[in-house]
Chain A
Amino acid sequence: MLKGLTILLSDAELREFNEASRPYFGDKPFLQLSETEREQYLNLIIDGSQVKDPKLLRTLQKVYRLTRTRVFTVYYSNYPEHIVPRDENDVPILPPGDQHQITNPNTKRIVTGWDIANYKPQLSWEEEEERRARAKRLGMWHDE
Chain B
Amino acid sequence: MSSTRTTPGATPAGGPGTAAAPAPGGPAATPAVEVRGVVRRFGAVTALDGIDLVIERGELVSLIGPSGCGKSTLLRVVADLVEPTEGEVRVGGKSAHRARLDQDYGIAFQAAGLLEWRTVAGNVELPLQLHGVGRAARRERARELLDLVGLADFARHRPSQLSGGMQQRVAIARALAERPSLLLMDEPFGALDEMTRERLQAELLAVRAATGCTVVFVTHSVPEAVFLSDRVVVMSARPGRVAAVVPVRLGTAERDDAVRATPAFAASVVQVRAALRATEAPR
A and B together in one complex: no
Residue numbers of A with Cβ under 8 A of B are: none
Residue numbers of B with Cβ under 8 A of A are: none
